[in-house]
């Protein structure tokens, strides 16, 4: 069911691989890497994303270099438009530099999404492996819990949880948001890993290892986990992308990260009232969210194709 | 078939139970005290706060609070002699505060009997507040879902049939692009574009204003064909995600079907390409789409929160969001439970639909 | 003069007379078009006057039901109908009242000519019903809002059909306001059914019997509420055919709707858009009316030790030692904070100049306002010097780190000058204020840890008195009521229930407040008699600075130029709504 964007056609145009005919048997991973190197779209997405991350990491350097600050309030310089040097992207309603705030917003938005995705990945992989491997009552309980969680529309669940736990917490709400998103987002990964584990545990080498007396933990870590690598990396990319969207939506509704800590979502929320005074405040955060998520989705798709054993080189 | 449906219904019961348990546990675990919120203001006395706390039952053990919320308390405290005070009590004490006078009989019927209690912010029953918002969300959600299917499926089929063409590329790029756009931002940009840039002088300008119907003194909302213009932007925003998802999955499903042996057979029998693809291919490729109904309902409901808030649509999502902000817990709980029920029903329907159209599934 | 000239002359005179006469002919009832307004207040929760809560409910019920006591909109004070100017005599019931000798009971006389829309006369039976609902609300679990008056009102006696007496627990200058809450506005008791089932009455969201200029039309949840002109309105013809209140959850859209001409009136538009509205009015499209608002924001600092919160008084009325806040316990630090903040710049950035500075706790438009009291100056250098004097020094000569205590009054040496500042979440204005506060206080060596938090939780923190500082707001009552017993005196300094959360206590201030609220033997509760007490209280307030007072947010009404009859007073947009007309161009 997985499709990816445009890459098949790109690959078709590429020069036929001479080595293809008499290729040495090699590992799935190196084959995937080779495919990725030819996948221009994924590479472009990767480059754009890296650039974004680099900019975010260098935010303090930009502040010194341009002599701007993401917190400095200037009540006499509000709503400056694009290109008002040194405020290259203008200023917001309190005269704070928009460019600097976007960079710091990127730091917050990206780290929330990445850390939450990481957390749900750990939970999802652990639960998926254990339930897939053992089955039985643990599996039933887990399935019931997953069915319960997925039967609540995810945004509804996030709304109520963030209203109860993020709005009510002191601090900017970044840590609770990571926890909430991480703790609620693992069901997809768990299901995927469970399915993979179910099929892997019947493979000959696993059965052989088991018959030689290998313990469950050993089998899971040595024999099953490495085979889940592609599944994990793909769902990580897709998850980070959708978590950026979710974080932005929550912050846009005023239920995510609290001001003055900037994220792209809460910057959009603040800008909403200033439609007519500073359109630039509405445009840029949205463009950045869109670009980042697009890159992550394209990379995820590209990885999926690269790792797909049934697709041809 | 009936047996299968019944079995699926039975399976939904523990899920529903889990949902109520989960949401109630969340509610209890939350910091903040509804009593202080309700009694904010310089003129409230401690006695009034205590009375309110007793009325809401916030000091009872958690299990009892949950049980009361789920099943009501009219069976816990009953009045058999008609003096207006309870005299037959189980679980709860008849004289809970120990003042020598029995409490009034319970009047809550619990959520399983459709009683979600009274709102914290408005002197109303929660069920009434929820039910009056359902039609608007149904209207927006149903139309968006229909647009999503009716546009997304043909696009997906065409893209698969013309694999590698420019149409295919545009379809696939479009699918990823539309899944990546934050829909609330898309909504804002569309309002900006339609309301201020394209039609700044149109009055009334429903693109700018949102809402479901024009203002009228009497006579209610006009029938749907009289206010299609109000639907354009919210449906576009909500359906864009659906189109992206459905075209993507339909294309994949169609490609899958096209590689099947029976397609090759049909083709080799000399049937024309078009007949083969649409009569044999598309029909079979549609089967997996049926399983998509459940998740789609979740997506539409979630999207409705954002879309309705941006476009002033008088639906459930907006009510839910506003209640969350006002910490109107009874409404929020009802909102989550009703949303989950809709999702469970969606999953149920798509399973049954799938079983109905896929001959490989046997009902036992 | 020939016949033709004569004819023309007569014709011209007649035409002129006709021209003059046309505007003089009163517009007929119900031909005044439909007034359309939009607000983001949400759906009405109830239209039953006894259950209304929130601005939307109050506004709509105010259209449909008569008030018990009337207010003179030009003075914002409660007025006897028999003494009111003729234009202010419509829509309310009490003609006159008599206060007894010691001020503990007031006998009200109602007019006898007022009828509900079904022809039933308005009598004291309606007042009795309201009092029953209010006094039994707690017992019956009714959602009645005016229940707080049971703290002050002892009983309501019905003398005859049009006379009733309210007995108070003690004499108080708020007595009239409490009585007015009995019927603010009044509900038709004969249409409500038994008090016990008031919560579930079908009347609540579809009132069948009304008595104001409008009756109920229809309610579409999340969309609009419409009201229809009351043809039997006792106080004059109702010109508008109806009124529609649209439910629009977005302040930007509200303004756009008005600018597009789709609403007739806008009430309190977003401060960021008021310049646009003025420009629209300057083009001749609308009339704008601005007035000083009555809600104001403040920065409160805790006096007492936040680690050991105590009430102001024990059960016997003796002062309890509440300790001192390590930073704000010192009055010099509070003054330094007040000096460091440029309130004018905050008004400019946070409300786009749409605010009036406060000098203390009384809004500038109140009768109790001390006109001669100067504003606190903005002088960051003096603030820094005060901190220095108070023993808070910049030990490392690095302005980006906070000062530390070195011989400070209540803080151990080495304590950083750092505190947590709360405000409620989701209020853009207060977030902006707090952000600027944080920035400006940092300039003189404070370190401000600014956090927004859900209102519910902030209330818990405030009630437990464990905070350092917060930014919130109060609203001065309407009719104008500057009472601060619960928010600034020892009586309100009660953990978990009082509203003097910052534990401000000044004996003289408490005494003045008591005097200001007690009817004097010579002239009762006159403005002239009470004002001097409030003036002195404002001076003390500015000396002690329990709050840094900020500003009131200005109010604004605007009506399209085709709306006639629009002549509002502060906080009173619709006092003459029955004479309005929305003319079709």
Q: Which CATH number characterizes residue C115's domain? A: 3.40.190.10
What's C531's domain CATH number? 3.10.105.10
Position A12 confidence tier, pLDDT thresholds 50, 70, 90 = very low
Chain C partners of B51 at a C-beta cutoff of 8 Å?
A: 138
Report yes or no: B216 at the C interface, CB cutoff 8 Å.
yes
pLDDT of residue B359: 63
Domain count, chain C: 2
Note whether residue C574 is domain-resident: no
**Share of residues in chain B with pLDDT > 70 (%):** 84
Instruction: Please give the pLDDT value at position A24.
Output: 43
Residue A267's pLDDT band, with cuts at 50, 70 and 90, is very high
pLDDT value at position C243? 95
In terms of CA atoms, which chain A residue is nearest residue B181?
A290
Q: Which two tokens stand for residue C424?
A: 């409620």
The answer to whether residues C236 and C366 belong to one domain is no
Q: What is the pLDDT of residues A236-263, one digit of tens each?
A: 998 999 999 999 999 888 888 988 889 9
Q: Of A153, A248, A297, which is closest to B339 when you measure between CB atoms?
A: A153
- The two structure tokens encoding residue C272: 């960021």
Instruction: Tell me: do C120 and C38 sit in the same domain.
Output: yes
C251, C431, C436 member nearest A259 (Cβ): C431
Report in angstroms the alpha-carbon separations of C155 from C50, C129, C149.
18, 13, 10
* Residues B263/B281, Cβ–Cβ less than 8 Å: yes
Establish if C346 touches chain A: CB-CB under 8 angstroms. Answer: yes
Test B215 with C36 for CB contact under 8 angstroms. Answer: yes
Shortest distance, CA B101 to any CA of chain A (angstroms): 36
- Asked if A283 and A264 count as a contact pair (C-beta separation under 8 A), the reply is no
pLDDT band at B4 (very low <50, low <70, confident <90, very high): confident
Query: For residue C253, what is the nearest residue in chain A, using CA coordinates?
Result: A273
Question: Each residue of B272-302: pLDDT tens digit?
Answer: 666 666 767 777 788 777 777 777 888 888 8
Contact C457 A270 (CB under 8 A): no
B324 with A255: Cβ contact below 8 A = yes
Are C222 and B315 within 8 A, CB to CB? yes
**Are residues C198 and C312 part of one domain?**
no
Put simply, whether C226 touches B (Cβ < 8 Å) is yes
**Cα gap B3→A151, rounded to integer Å:** 23
Q: Is the link from the previous residue into B204 a cis peptide, with omega within 30 of 0?
A: yes
Judged by CB atoms closer than 8 Å, whether chains meet at C256 and B215 is answered as no
- Put simply, the answer to whether B344 touches A151 (Cβ < 8 Å) is yes
ipTM: 0.85
- What pLDDT shows up at residue B292? 78
A1 touches chain B (CB under 8 A): yes
Please check whether residues C360 and C508 belong to one and the same domain: yes
Q: What is the pLDDT of residues A166-218, one digit of tens each?
A: 877 888 889 999 999 999 989 989 988 998 888 888 888 888 888 888 888 88
Closest by Cα among C221, C41, C43, C42 to B136: C221
Contacts of C492 in chain B (CB under 8 A): 42
Chain A hits for B164, CB-CB cut-off 8 Å, are 8-9, 12
Question: Do B176 and A163 lie within an 8 Å CB cutoff?
Answer: no
> Measured between alpha carbons, how far apart are the two ends of chain A, in Å?
18
In C, residues 441-480, which contact B (CB 8 Å cutoff)? 454-457, 459-460, 463
- The β-bridge relationship of strands C469-475 and C224-229 is unpaired
Give the residue on C whose Cα is nearest the Cα of B134.
C221
Contact yes or no for A168 and C450 at CB 8 A: no
C74 Cβ neighbours under 8 A, 6+ residues apart: C85, C88, C569
Q: Round the average pLDDT of chain A to a whole number and report it.
A: 83
Show me where the domains of chain A are located: 30-306
Give contacts of B 117-176 with C, CB under 8 A. 118-119, 121-125, 129, 132-133, 136
Q: Do the chains contact at B306 and A293, CB–CB below 8 Å?
A: no
Same domain flag for C431 and C497: yes
Q: Would you state the structure tokens that stand for residue B147, as one six-digit string?
A: 């647009």
Whether residue C228 lies within 8 A of chain B, CB to CB, comes out as yes
Q: Is C238 on the interface with B (CB under 8 A)?
A: no
**Is C166 contained in some domain?**
yes
Chain A environment of B172 (Cβ under 8 Å): 3-6
User: Cβ B312–C250 below 8 Å, yes or no?
Assistant: yes
Q: pLDDT value at position A23?
A: 41
Gyration radius from chain A CA atoms: 23
Evaluate if residue B33 carries a pLDDT over 70.
Answer: no
pLDDT at residue B34 is higher than 70: no
Tell me: do C93 and C233 sit in the same domain: yes
User: Which pLDDT score, from 0 to 100, does residue A4 have?
Assistant: 32
C182/C323 same-domain check: no
Considering chain B, what is the average pLDDT of its residues? 82
Domains of chain B: 39-113 (no CATH), 126-357 (1.10.3720.10)
User: Mutual orientation of helices C527-544 and C507-517 as an angle, nearest 10°?
Assistant: 160
Name which residue leads in pLDDT, C421 or A29: C421
C297 lies in a domain? yes
Which residues of chain C does B42 touch, with a Cβ-Cβ cutoff of 8 Å?
485-487, 492, 498-499
Decide if B26 and A160 are in contact by the 8 Å CB cutoff. yes
| pLDDT at residue C395 in the model | 85
C215 contact residues in B (CB cutoff 8 A): none
Q: What span, in angstroms and rounded, lies between the C-alpha atoms of A226 and A205?
A: 13
Element holding B302 (H helix, E strand): helix B293-310
**What pLDDT does residue A312 have?**
54
* A170: chain C residues, CB-CB within 8 Å: 420, 451, 453
By Cβ distance, the residue of C226, C455, C457 closest to B217 is C226
For A123-150, the pLDDT digits (tens) are 999 999 999 888 889 998 998 889 888 8
SS (H, E, C) chain A: CCCCCCHHHHHHHCCCCHHHCCCCCCCHHHHHHHHHHHCHHHHHHHHHHHHHHHHHHCHHHHHHHHCCCCCCCCCCCCCCCCCECCECCCECCCCCEHHHHHHHHHHHHHHHHHHHHHHHHHHHHHHHHHHHHHCHHHHHHHHHHHHHHHHCCHHHHHHHHHHHHHCCCCCCCHHHHHHHHHHHCCHHHHHHHHHHHHHHCCCHHHHHHHHCCCCHHHHHHHHHHHHHHHHHHHHHHHHHHHHHHHHHHHHHCCCCCCCCCCCHHHHHHHHHCCCCCCCHHHHHHHHHHHHHHHHHHHHHHHHHHHHCCCCCC
Residue B46 above 60 pLDDT? yes
Please state the rounded mean pLDDT for residues B203-216: 76
Which range marks the domain in which residue C479 is found? 293-554
Given this model, what pLDDT does residue C137 score? Answer: 87
Contact partners for chain A, using 3 or more CB pairs closer than 8 A, are: B, C
The answer for A 109-168 residues in CB contact with B (under 8 A) is 144-145, 147-157, 159-161, 163-165, 168
Q: Does the beta carbon of C327 lie under 8 angstroms from any beta carbon of chain B?
A: no
Q: Which of C222, C247, C272 corresponds to the end of one domain?
A: C247
**C211 plus C98 within the same structural domain:** yes
Query: CATH for A30-306?
Result: 1.10.3720.10
**pTM for the structure as a whole:** 0.84
Residue B55 binned pLDDT confidence (cut-offs 50, 70, 90)? low
Count contacts between A and C (CB, < 8 Å). 65
User: B345-364, pLDDT tens digit by residue?
Assistant: 888 888 888 777 766 655 44
Among candidates C251, C435, C454 on the partner chain, residue whose Cβ is nearest the Cβ of A273: C251
Nearest residue in A to C425, CA atom = A167
C223 touching B, CB under 8 A? yes
Give the distance from residue B228's alpha carbon to the nearest chain C alpha carbon, in angstroms: 16
- Put simply, whether B42 touches C (Cβ < 8 Å) is yes
A18: confidence class by pLDDT, cuts 50, 70, 90: very low
Rounded to a whole number, what is the distance in Å from the CA of C198 to chain B's nearest CA? 10
Residues C229 and C321 in one domain: no
- The reply to whether C48 and C174 lie within a common domain is yes
What pLDDT was estimated at residue C3? 57
Q: What are the φ and ψ backbone dihedral angles of C548, each rounded to 5 degrees?
A: -90, 110
Contacts of C199 in chain B (CB under 8 A): 118, 123
In a shared domain, residues C502 and C446: yes
* Distance from chain centroid for Cα C293: 8
Of A75, A170, A171, the CB nearest to C345: A75
* pLDDT surpasses 60 at B328: yes
| Same domain flag for C218 and C299 | no
In terms of Cα–Cα distance, which of B185, B148, B179 is closest to B296?
B148
Residue A19 has pLDDT above 50, yes or no: no
| C220–B213 CB contact, under 8 Å | yes
Q: Return mean pLDDT, chain C.
A: 89
* Minimal Cβ distance to C252: which of A163, A170, A272: A272
User: Which residues, including other chains, have CB under 8 Å from residue A80's CB and lie 6 or more apart?
Assistant: A87, A90, A91, A95
Q: Which of B179, B182, B335 sits opposite A156 (nearest CB)?
A: B335
Per-residue pLDDT tens listing for chain C (585 residues): 455 555 555 556 555 554 444 443 445 666 788 999 998 888 898 999 999 988 899 999 999 999 999 999 988 889 999 899 988 998 899 999 999 988 899 999 999 999 999 999 999 999 999 999 999 988 887 888 888 899 899 999 999 999 999 999 999 988 999 999 998 899 999 999 899 889 888 999 999 999 999 999 999 988 899 999 999 999 989 999 999 999 888 888 888 888 888 899 999 999 988 998 999 999 999 999 999 888 999 999 999 999 999 999 988 889 999 999 999 999 999 999 999 999 999 999 899 999 999 999 999 989 999 999 999 999 999 999 999 999 999 888 887 889 999 999 999 999 999 999 999 988 889 999 999 999 999 999 999 999 988 887 888 889 889 999 999 999 888 888 888 988 999 988 988 778 899 999 999 999 999 999 998 887 788 888 899 999 999 999 999 999 999 999 999 999 999 999 999 998 899 999 999 999 876
Per-residue DSSP letters for B230-254? Answer: HHHHHHHHHHHHHHHHHHHHHHHHH
Q: Which residue in C has a C-alpha nearest to residue B320's C-alpha? A: C222
Q: How confident is the model at residue B59 (pLDDT cuts 50, 70, 90)?
A: confident
- Asked whether the beta carbons of residue A276 and residue C276 sit closer than 8 angstroms, the reply is yes
């Amino acid at each position: 069911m997985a499709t990816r964007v445009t890459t098949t056609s790109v690959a078709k145009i590429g020069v036929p691989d001479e080595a293809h005919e008499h290729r040495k048997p090699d590992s799935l991973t190196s084959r995937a890497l080779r495919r990725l190197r030819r996948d221009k779209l994924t590479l472009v997405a990767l480059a754009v994303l890296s650039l974004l991350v680099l900019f975010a990491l260098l935010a303090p350097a930009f502040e010194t270099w341009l002599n701007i600050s993401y917190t400095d309030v200037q009540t006499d310089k509000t709503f400056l438009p694009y290109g008002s040097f040194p405020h290259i992207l203008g200023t917001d309603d309190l005269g704070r530099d928009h460019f600097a705030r976007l960079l710091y917003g990127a730091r917050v938005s990206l780290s929330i999404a990445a850390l939450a995705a990481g957390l749900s990945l750990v939970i999802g992989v652990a639960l998926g492996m254990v339930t897939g491997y053992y089955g039985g009552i643990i599996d039933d309980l887990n399935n019931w819990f997953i069915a319960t969680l997925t039967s609540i529309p995810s945004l509804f669940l996030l709304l109520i949880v963030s209203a109860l736990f993020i709005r009510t917490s002191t601090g900017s709400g970044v840590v609770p948001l990571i926890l909430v998103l991480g703790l609620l987002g693992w069901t997809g990964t768990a299901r995927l890993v469970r399915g993979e584990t179910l099929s892997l545990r019947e493979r000959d080498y696993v059965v052989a290892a088991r018959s030689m007396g290998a313990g469950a933990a050993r089998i899971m870590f040595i024999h099953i986990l490495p085979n889940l690598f592609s599944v994990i990396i793909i769902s990580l990319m897709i998850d980070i992308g959708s978590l950026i969207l979710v974080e932005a939506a929550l912050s846009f509704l005023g239920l995510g990260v609290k001001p003055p800590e900037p994220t792209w979502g809460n910057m959009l929320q603040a800008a909403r009232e200033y439609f007519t005074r500073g359109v630039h405040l509405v445009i840029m955060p949205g463009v950045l969210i869109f670009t980042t998520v697009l890159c992550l989705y394209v990379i995820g798709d590209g990885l999926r194709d690269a790792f797909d054993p049934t697709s041809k080189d | 078939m009936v047996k299968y449906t019944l079995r699926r219904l039975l399976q939904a019961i523990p899920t529903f139970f889990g949902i109520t348990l989960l949401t109630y546990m969340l509610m209890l675990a939350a910091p903040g005290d509804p009593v202080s919120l309700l009694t904010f203001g310089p003129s409230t006395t401690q006695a009034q706060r205590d009375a309110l706390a007793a009325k809401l039952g916030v000091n009872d053990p958690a299990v009892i609070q949950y049980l009361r919320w789920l099943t009501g308390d009219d069976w816990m405290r009953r009045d058999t002699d008609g003096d207006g005070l309870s005299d037959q009590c189980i679980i709860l004490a008849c004289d809970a505060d120990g003042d020598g006078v029995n409490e009034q009989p319970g009047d809550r019927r619990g959520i399983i009997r459709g009683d979600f209690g009274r709102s914290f912010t408005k002197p109303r029953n929660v069920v009434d507040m929820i039910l009056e918002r359902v039609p608007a969300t149904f209207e927006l959600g149903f139309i968006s879902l229909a647009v999503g299917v009716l546009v997304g499926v043909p696009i997906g089929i065409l893209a698969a049939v013309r694999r590698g063409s420019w149409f295919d590329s545009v379809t696939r790029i479009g699918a990823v692009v539309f899944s990546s756009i934050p829909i609330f931002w898309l909504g804002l940009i569309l309002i900006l574009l339609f309301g201020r840039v394209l039609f700044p002088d149109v009055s009334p300008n429903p693109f700018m204003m949102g809402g479901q119907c024009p203002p009228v003194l009497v006579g209610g909302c006009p029938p749907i064909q009289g206010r299609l213009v109000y639907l354009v932007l919210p449906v576009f925003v909500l359906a864009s995600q659906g189109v992206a998802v459905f075209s993507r999955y339909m294309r994949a499903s169609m490609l899958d079907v096209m590689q099947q042996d029976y397609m090759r057979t049909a083709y080799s029998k000399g049937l024309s390409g078009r007949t083969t693809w649409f009569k044999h291919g598309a029909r079979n490729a549609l089967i997996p789409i049926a399983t998509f109904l459940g998740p789609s309902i979740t997506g539409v409901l979630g999207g409705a929160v954002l879309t309705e808030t941006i476009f002033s649509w008088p639906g459930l999502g907006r009510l839910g969001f506003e209640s969350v902000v006002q910490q109107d817990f009874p409404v929020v709980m009802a909102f989550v439970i009703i949303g989950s029920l809709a999702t469970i029903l969606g999953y149920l329907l798509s399973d049954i639909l799938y079983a109905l159209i896929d001959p490989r599934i046997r009902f036992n | 003069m020939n016949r033709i000239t004569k004819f023309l002359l007569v014709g011209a005179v007649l035409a002129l007379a006709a021209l003059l006469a046309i505007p003089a002919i009163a517009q007929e009832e119900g031909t005044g078009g439909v007034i359309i307004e939009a607000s983001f207040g949400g759906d009405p929760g109830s239209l039953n006057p006894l259950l209304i809560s929130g601005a939307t409910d109050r506004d709509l019920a105010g259209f449909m039901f008569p008030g018990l006591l009337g207010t003179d909109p030009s003075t914002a004070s409660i007025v006897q109908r028999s003494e009111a100017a003729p234009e202010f005599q419509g829509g309310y019931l009490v003609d006159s009242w008599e206060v007894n000798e010691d001020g503990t009971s007031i006998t009200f006389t109602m007019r006898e000519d007022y009828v509900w829309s079904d022809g039933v006369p308005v009598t004291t039976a309606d007042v009795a019903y309201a009092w029953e609902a209010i006094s039994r609300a707690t017992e019956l679990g009714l959602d009645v809002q005016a229940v707080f008056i049971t703290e002050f009102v002892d009983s309501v006696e019905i003398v005859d059909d049009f006379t009733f007496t309210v007995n108070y627990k003690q004499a108080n200058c708020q007595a009239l306001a409490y009585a007015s809450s009995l019927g603010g506005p009044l509900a038709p008791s004969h249409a409500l059914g038994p008090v016990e089932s008031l919560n579930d009455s079908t009347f609540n969201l579809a009132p069948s019997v009304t008595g104001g200029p409008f009756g109920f039309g229809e309610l579409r949840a999340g969309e609009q509420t419409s009201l229809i002109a009351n043809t039997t309105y006792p106080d004059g013809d109702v010109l508008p055919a109806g009124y529609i209140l649209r439910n629009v959850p977005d302040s930007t859209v509200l303004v756009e709707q008005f600018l597009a001409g789709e609403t007739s009136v806008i009430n309190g538009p977003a401060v960021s858009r008021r310049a646009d509205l003025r420009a629209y009015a300057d083009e001749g499209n609308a009339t704008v009316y601005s007035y000083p608002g009555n809600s104001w924001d403040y920065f409160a600092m805790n006096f007492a030790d936040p680690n050991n919160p105590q009430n102001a008084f024990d059960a016997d009325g003796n002062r309890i030692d509440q300790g001192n806040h390590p930073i704000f316990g010192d009055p010099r630090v509070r003054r330094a904070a007040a000096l460091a903040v440029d309130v004018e710049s905050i008004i400019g950035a946070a409300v786009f100049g749409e605010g009036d500075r406060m000098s203390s706790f009384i809004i500038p438009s109140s009768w109790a306002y001390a006109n001669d009291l100067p504003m606190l100056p903005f002088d960051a250098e003096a603030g820094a010097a005060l901190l220095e004097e108070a023993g808070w020094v910049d030990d490392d000569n690095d302005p980006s780190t906070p000062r530390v205590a070195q011989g400070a009054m209540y803080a151990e040496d080495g304590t950083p000058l750092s505190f947590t500042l709360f405000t409620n979440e989701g209020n853009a204005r207060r977030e902006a204020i707090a952000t600027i506060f944080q920035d400006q206080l940092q300039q003189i060596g404070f370190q401000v840890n600014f956090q927004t938090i859900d209102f519910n939780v902030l209330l818990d923190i405030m009630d437990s008195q464990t905070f350092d500082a917060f930014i919130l707001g109060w609203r001065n009552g309407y009719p104008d009521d500057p009472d601060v017993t619960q928010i600034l005196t020892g009586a309100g300094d009660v953990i978990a229930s009082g509203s003097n959360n910052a534990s401000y206590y000044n004996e003289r201030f408490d005494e003045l407040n008591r005097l200001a609220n007690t009817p004097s033997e010579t002239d009762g509760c006159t403005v002239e008699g009470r004002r001097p007490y409030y003036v002195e209280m404002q001076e003390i307030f500015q000396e002690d600075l329990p709050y840094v007072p900020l500003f009131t947010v200005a109010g604004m009404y605007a009506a399209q130029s085709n709306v006639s009859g629009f002549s509002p007073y502060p906080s009173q947009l619709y006092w003459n709504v029955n004479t309005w007309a929305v003319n079709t161009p």
